[in-house]
Structure 1
Amino acid sequence: MNKVVRDRLAHLKGQVRSAREAQADLDPNYLIKGWLMGGATSVIYGPSNVGKTFLALKIAQAVASGTDWFGCKTRRQHVLYAAAEGGRAFENRVAALRAAEFDWITHPFDFHANAIDAQVLAHLYNEMNPNPAPGLIIIDTLARVMAAGDENSSVDMGLLIRNVDTLARMTGAHVMLIHHTGKDTALGARGHSSLRAAIDTEIELSRDEESGVISVMSRKQRDIGMGRDAYYSLAEVHLGTDPDGDAVTTCIVAEAEAQEPVVKDKRRPLKGHQQVAHQALLDALRDHGQKRSGPDFPGKPVVHVDHWREACKLHGLLNNPKSKDGGRNAYKRAKEWLMNSDYVRSYQDYWWVC
């Protein structure tokens, strides 16, 4: 056994512990309880214009000030927001927070080809951090710090991950990346899958187009339980007026309630005799509906077929003088169509709507 192997073996022996020595960690090192752990890495991703930067700014302010984030406890730590996509628009967003307590810098960092930038940013953070405990560094966005790299390349993504790890290791801070989804949002964050494998926390943002409410969903947690969600909308903030007298505005995050999912009706649309028969059944249920007991009844009002038939007569579908059979075949076909198209159900001559 050569000296290098002996030294390595001696080092490893010193780290072996008995399982009997293990003790529960009852004081987790969190930044946002249930969402972000200290010293870890995370990605927040979503489609364009979903408000990723606005949410990241809310995270930055919550951790820097020690205030609750969507009802979750935080631990007050130093925060540095590295806005690689910065500019006047970003500064307006910071100003809208009113007395924000974190630090920020706008600079085109390169975490792909230039390994120095991660080290320089780490030294900058350490010099600025007045607290003994490490805090949070937000990188906005991954695409900008990827520079000339290819997000879909395992080699290029590996270089970026290595620089993120360097930044986290040198500072002890939680490093958060702001990222985008690809063309197919169902596939998650854009780029090579090695990113998801490497990070500790993954948070997805998606917008409900009808309500405008944005969902914040925990998609991966290495050391925390899953299943947490939060919801917000973007509220406009008036910052002042420009030299022409026009309003200057931006947005901030406003907490919102969860939206009930809208289930789209995939059934074929009603028309003609089917629509008449369906309306006749609704009228019959209104006038004669009753609940019947039994496992095969739906637990809501049902009506006997005779009442439905009478309602069809009132609507002109049956006893139709213009039809040779008085509309009987039209009524039969409409009833079958409604059944096959999941508009109605029946049991023992009693009918109800789906």
Structure 2
Amino acid sequence: MSIAEENKVLDLKALHADRKRLFVLYADLETDCSKAWLVDRMLGAGELSAFYGPPGCGKGVIIEDMGLHIAAGLEWHGKPVTRGAVLYVALERRKLVERRAIAFRVKHGLQDLPFAIAGGVYDFRNPTTAAQILDICREVERQTGERVVLIIVDTVSRALAGGDENSPKDMGALVTVTARIQESTKAHVLLVHHIPHDAERMRGHGALLGAVDTTVAVVNAGSVRTAKVVKANDGEEGEGISFTVEGVEIAPDGTTAAVAVPADIPATSTEKKWAKGLRLVRDCIDAALTEAAIEHSVGGDGPIVRAVSLEAVRNIHKARYVSSGDGERSEAERKAWTRNFKAAQQAPLIGGEVKDGAEIIWLL
């Protein structure tokens, strides 16, 4: 056979191989087709997920914590993970993401992990964005020597770059670009999303909900927060974890950043954290939040929480307090408030700071 004929045969074999990659025949299906997990029983390898929840629920903290555990190859809340490089695309608050990673380093003593943070402006409706993200992934893999197994996009709103999240065209374009990134990297892509319309549905057009394999709702249930699977195309719904948020000092000037800590008790047991004498304070805060909550960024650039003025809470306490002894009611109420509010601060069950000359507080 001549060289030309051999080349022709090789070309035909290559063509057939390329065509075969377009599909798989029934007879070629593998006998061993066990599902591969990125996070055991929670997030599938190479799939698409969305974590969502209201501001201040701790979703950014727990998502980054999960990504760092994957980069380290450490079990996450007792769940085995597939180790690999992680790319966190921080389309908002990049510096906060960096500080949280530093806090994780301080907390766990891990100096070198294949975890990369990318900032900037990317329009995930534009097909060229897929190529840009793929270029970053390749460079991360080159520098770390690890395959990228998780890409976090924070947030969907910023990824739309001014697009309408209720538009099927805009959300459909985002889903398409995300799918291209998945297909090329074989990595799991995790989208961070904002407040849902209700407990079961994410905000925005249903194209995203239809495209994701898994949705995870993050909820702040008081001092303990939860991240629970709401939708799972190929897994167990209801699977989840509980965690608390802890501040870690990361600089000589006292700057702190949040880290996630596994909770020793389930979220349903958080009532025990509030001693009987403190529950009126908590109930008054809850009532004030219902009436006049504001979104507040802790420290100016920290996590967003639902806060309320201290004065509003105190006024509700004055109205609800029931004196159990003799003496003037107003004085008894003042002493009870001072004692119990201080105890709640020291627990700590509440946080607070001054904004525009007035003290505001929030539940931890």
Query: Do both proteins adopt the same fold according to a TM-score greater than 0.5, normalized to the shorter chain?
Result: yes
Judged with a 3 Å threshold, the aligned counterparts in structure 2 of structure 1 residues 93 and 24 are, in CA distance, closer, same or farther, namely same
- Residue 193 of structure 1 deviates from its aligned partner by 1.1
Percent of residue pairs bearing the same amino acid type? 28
- Residue 157 of structure 1 deviates from its aligned partner by 0.5
- 2:176 corresponds to which residue? 162
Per-residue Cα deviation, 1:60-87 (whole angstroms, up to 9, x for no partner): 1111110001100012111111101134
- Residue 12 of structure 1 deviates from its aligned partner by 11
- 1:231 corresponds to which residue? 242
Which among 25, 29, 51 is matched to residue 16 of structure 1?
25
Judged with a 3 Å threshold, the aligned counterparts in structure 2 of structure 1 residues 229 and 149 are, in CA distance, closer, same or farther, namely same
Per-residue Cα deviation, 1:180-230 (whole angstroms, up to 9, x for no partner): 124x43352111111111011111111113xx2111111122222333121
- 1:293 corresponds to which residue? none
What are the within-5 Å matches in structure 2 for residues 42-121 of structure 1? 42-98=49-105, 99=111, 101=113, 102-112=115-125, 114-121=126-133
Per-residue Cα deviation, 1:13-60 (whole angstroms, up to 9, x for no partner): 9743249x662424x322111111211111011101111111111111
- Residue 126 of structure 1 deviates from its aligned partner by 2.1
- 1:185 corresponds to which residue? 198
What secondary structure sits across from 1:231 in the alignment?
strand
> How many angstroms apart in 2 are the aligned matches of 1:172 and 1:78?
12
- 1:25 corresponds to which residue? 33
> How many angstroms apart in 2 are the aligned matches of 1:85 and 1:14?
39
8 A contact 1:111–1:118 mirrored in 2: yes
8 A contact 1:181–1:188 mirrored in 2: no
- Residue 148 of structure 1 deviates from its aligned partner by 1.4
> How many angstroms apart in 1 are the aligned matches of 2:22 and 2:72?
43
Higher relative contact order (CA 8 A, sep 6+): 2
Judged with a 3 Å threshold, the aligned counterparts in structure 2 of structure 1 residues 100 and 196 are, in CA distance, closer, same or farther, namely farther
Per-residue Cα deviation, 1:289-333 (whole angstroms, up to 9, x for no partner): xxxxxxxxxxxxxxxxxxxxxxxxxxxxxxxxxxxxxxxxxxxxx
> How many angstroms apart in 2 are the aligned matches of 1:121 and 1:218?
27
Paired letter, 1:258? P
Question: Of the two, which has the highest radius of gyration?
Answer: 1
Judged with a 3 Å threshold, the aligned counterparts in structure 2 of structure 1 residues 145 and 203 are, in CA distance, closer, same or farther, namely same
- 1:35 corresponds to which residue? 42
Structure 1: unaligned runs, 5 residues or longer: 1-6, 264-354
Matched, 1:203 2:193: no
Structure 2: unaligned runs, 5 residues or longer: 1-15, 106-110, 272-364
8 A contact 1:238–1:248 mirrored in 2: yes
What secondary structure sits across from 1:186 in the alignment?
coil
8 A contact 2:42–2:240 mirrored in 1: no
Judged with a 3 Å threshold, the aligned counterparts in structure 2 of structure 1 residues 14 and 78 are, in CA distance, closer, same or farther, namely closer
Scaled by the length of structure 1, the TM-score of the pair is 0.64
- 2:140 corresponds to which residue? 128
- 2:255 corresponds to which residue? 248
Judged with a 3 Å threshold, the aligned counterparts in structure 2 of structure 1 residues 238 and 175 are, in CA distance, closer, same or farther, namely same
Paired letter, 1:194? A
Scaled by the length of structure 2, the TM-score of the pair is 0.62
- Residue 115 of structure 1 deviates from its aligned partner by 1.9
Judged with a 3 Å threshold, the aligned counterparts in structure 2 of structure 1 residues 12 and 85 are, in CA distance, closer, same or farther, namely closer
Matched, 1:139 2:153: yes
> How many angstroms apart in 2 are the aligned matches of 1:252 and 1:46?
18
Paired letter, 2:267? Q
Judged with a 3 Å threshold, the aligned counterparts in structure 2 of structure 1 residues 96 and 134 are, in CA distance, closer, same or farther, namely closer
Judged with a 3 Å threshold, the aligned counterparts in structure 2 of structure 1 residues 163 and 238 are, in CA distance, closer, same or farther, namely same
> How many angstroms apart in 1 are the aligned matches of 2:21 and 2:123?
36
Per-residue Cα deviation, 1:99-152 (whole angstroms, up to 9, x for no partner): 36211111121102x221121111220232155754111111111111111011
8 A contact 1:42–1:201 mirrored in 2: yes
Matched, 1:194 2:225: no
8 A contact 2:130–2:180 mirrored in 1: yes
8 A contact 1:82–1:140 mirrored in 2: yes
Q: Which has the higher helix share?
A: 2
Paired letter, 2:70? V
